[in-house]
Structure 1
């Protein structure tokens, strides 16, 4: 249990998951089993990606993505300044250098116009271009993939989609309409952490339409062990394989994906309809042309002081809420990194607050959250 009267985002796991996991345990299929392959096929069916490699975390998937694309020391990788630090750390794992790009004020997604200007400047000065762009679909809202894919084609830069929060989301406008996030770029990654739309208790997946990249990622995820009866390995590998127990849980969760996303979207709309009447608050935007997951419904207040007051009031009443992440350029490991922007990420970090968004959130619980927020603003 979370310990909160109304938690922020907890797993929605029921009898079906318990039975499936119990059966796998009784069969002795804990580490390796047929459910791993079944789980991967299920995800490719949902996303339309040709290949999927299940791994131990979204971070592991991103690390493998960088490795199989040959990114390493001396290379740069573009990444949004507003994201969980796990979107950036794997860049450091491989010895590459992150370039931090500011985000759009409405969605918090990476600002493609800033990337375009950055690339144009590099080209004019005849400087090396980034090897990849990590495109984070923040809070489950698809970022400007059409713009990013255009840059990929023009400059020869690989796009890695961080779809950790957006499994089941589809991109809306333009030439790539209705494609699932994670299946559009060169590689996509998904997280199945406990607070995500669906969970395996902790896990991730690498998606790609390139069979060679998928095979290489799978090889590296199993300590680079060669086929056969002997423990022979050709390169340095990693213990990144997802367990069969996790995959078993994930299969049952995926059966409920549509239901969970529908609940998330309903929660977002209820917050939007109720809170935006106040005038001093708006919800982080969702593009009506997209079909995002609304992973965490996040409110924007006029200033940091108001956000802090609302946050404190909610928490004092046992209602879990959370400010957005500290921008990467302000995090100790990355303070010397190149940051391109005007402070949008810092403003969002100051003024945004994620509200309870569990798929099991009761209508009465959401009403309580809304009432507390409104009363705090009225008495502000």
Structure 2
């Protein structure tokens, strides 16, 4: 059994994907080919955002956004403590300080209450300038942007939406990657929409920022590749990856999102009475990057993971350590408020196999194995 079955997905889409990659090889237009432009157009149309700028990976997407805002030394960016390292790493790489914020236990997303406390503390200390909120759409569900936007407005902060796991999620009719002043996503293979290598994208309605990020991603390019108007990076999405994504985006829209939600709903229906299952807020829609349950404690979580492995069932722990406790941030004044929920989640969380191509038999095996251990 696969945790996220990319092999089965490829077999389903093989004729279209093979043909798309073959076309790129025949034209030999491997960098910035027409498929890249087509993908950017379709992604912008899908999310409802004016500009989509593709890049080499999701980490670079965050970096391009921070560069466009000139965030750096002396600035504070507020980041959830419970997320992948890149969300805080990119802030620190630009010379700014990631200030870690606790999350909500039911959604795993940034806690507005914890955020407000952290912002107030930073302002009281007066050592850093609060600049932005980096909100993560964790495991597929968008963060609470209504409350986050209210806080951003109160303290004059920008919102950077890290939609690496949230692409395809919604609040009402508004889609993930449209909630930030700038939003980003990742096309890492295991993401809701993934390519066959690394890839990423940035989204914004702001013309000036879009122009800056288009320049930054190609060495600060001006009118042509030998006209460099600023210091940038080398972060282009290659044409073959764009060709793969063009095929996958169609399947994602047509049936994969609905299929993965069906699998998630079945998990919840079968498991909600024996273990704490994920909560999707009213009016929200998740793209289910992961399906994560919460066990009573670390001992029970670890025991269940061993039990699943013995039965041929893969599982993953996202995340075993709070970001604030990563060695890379040791000695940096990143913590301004309590992070108790994150600390507990790291001990109790376990992600189960989940993907749009999961069979009823496969899912039944997972469910039966959990019930056998927990009941």
Q: Per the shorter chain, which TM-score range?
A: over 0.9
Q: Which residue of 2 aligns with 1:288?
A: 282
Q: Which residue of 1 aligns with 2:68?
A: 68
Residues 128 and 7 from structure 1, CA distance in 2 versus in 1: closer, same or farther, beyond 3 angstroms? closer
Q: Which residue of 2 aligns with 1:297?
A: 291
Q: Which residue of 2 aligns with 1:167?
A: 167
Question: In 2, Cα distance between the equivalents of 1:285 and 1:255?
Answer: 28
Question: In 1, Cα distance between the equivalents of 2:90 and 2:5?
Answer: 25
> Is 1:327 aligned with 2:356?
no
Question: In 1, Cα distance between the equivalents of 2:354 and 2:322?
Answer: 22
Indicate the SS of the match to 2:134.
strand
Q: Residue by residue, what CA displacement relative to the aligned partner does 1:333-369 show, whole Å, maximum 9, x if unpaired?
A: 1233422224111111111111001221111101111
> Is 1:343 aligned with 2:334?
no
> Is 1:244 aligned with 2:236?
no
Indicate the SS of the match to 1:41.
helix
Greater shift, 202-211 or 117-126, is seen at 117-126
Shift of 1:224: 1.4
> Is 1:267 aligned with 2:263?
yes
Q: Which residue of 1 aligns with 2:137?
A: 137
Q: Which residue of 1 aligns with 2:93?
A: 93
Residues 333 and 123 from structure 1, CA distance in 2 versus in 1: closer, same or farther, beyond 3 angstroms? closer
Shift of 1:125: 5.7
> Is 1:221 aligned with 2:217?
yes
Select which of 185, 201, 206 maps to 1:205.
Answer: 201
> Is 1:30 aligned with 2:30?
yes
Q: Which residue of 1 aligns with 2:191?
A: 196
Indicate the SS of the match to 1:130.
strand
TM-score by length of 2: 0.93
Question: In 1, Cα distance between the equivalents of 2:91 and 2:367?
Answer: 39
CA RMSD of aligned residues (A): 1.6
> Is 1:361 aligned with 2:358?
yes
Residues 130 and 123 from structure 1, CA distance in 2 versus in 1: closer, same or farther, beyond 3 angstroms? closer
Q: Residue by residue, what CA displacement relative to the aligned partner does 1:97-116 show, whole Å, maximum 9, x if unpaired?
A: 11000111111111111111
Select which of 363, 368, 372 maps to 1:371.
Answer: 368
Q: Residue by residue, what CA displacement relative to the aligned partner does 1:252-300 show, whole Å, maximum 9, x if unpaired?
A: 111012311112211111111111232xx12121113101112211111
Question: In 1, Cα distance between the equivalents of 2:84 and 2:5?
Answer: 16
Question: In 2, Cα distance between the equivalents of 1:44 and 1:372?
Answer: 42
- Consecutive unaligned residues in structure 1, runs of 5 or more: 173-177
Residues 335 and 344 from structure 1, CA distance in 2 versus in 1: closer, same or farther, beyond 3 angstroms? farther
Question: In 2, Cα distance between the equivalents of 1:118 and 1:342?
Answer: 11
The answer on whether the counterparts of 1:264 and 1:295 sit within 8 Å (CA) in structure 2 is: no
The answer on whether the counterparts of 2:140 and 2:288 sit within 8 Å (CA) in structure 1 is: yes
Shift of 1:192: 0.7
Question: In 1, Cα distance between the equivalents of 2:101 and 2:123?
Answer: 17
Shift of 1:329: 1.2
The answer on whether the counterparts of 1:183 and 1:208 sit within 8 Å (CA) in structure 2 is: yes
Question: In 2, Cα distance between the equivalents of 1:180 and 1:356?
Answer: 25
Indicate the SS of the match to 1:88.
helix
> Is 1:310 aligned with 2:304?
yes
Question: In 2, Cα distance between the equivalents of 1:103 and 1:165?
Answer: 16
Question: In 2, Cα distance between the equivalents of 1:10 and 1:303?
Answer: 31
Residues 376 and 330 from structure 1, CA distance in 2 versus in 1: closer, same or farther, beyond 3 angstroms? same
Question: In 2, Cα distance between the equivalents of 1:185 and 1:114?
Answer: 19
> Is 1:118 aligned with 2:113?
no
Q: Which residue of 2 aligns with 1:352?
A: 349
Shift of 1:6: 3.0
The answer on whether the counterparts of 2:123 and 2:130 sit within 8 Å (CA) in structure 1 is: no
Q: Which residue of 2 aligns with 1:6?
A: 2
Question: In 1, Cα distance between the equivalents of 2:344 and 2:125?
Answer: 31
Shift of 1:24: 1.6
Q: Residue by residue, what CA displacement relative to the aligned partner does 1:130-166 show, whole Å, maximum 9, x if unpaired?
A: 1111000110111110111111212110000000111
Q: Which residue of 2 aligns with 1:102?
A: 102
Indicate the SS of the match to 1:118.
helix
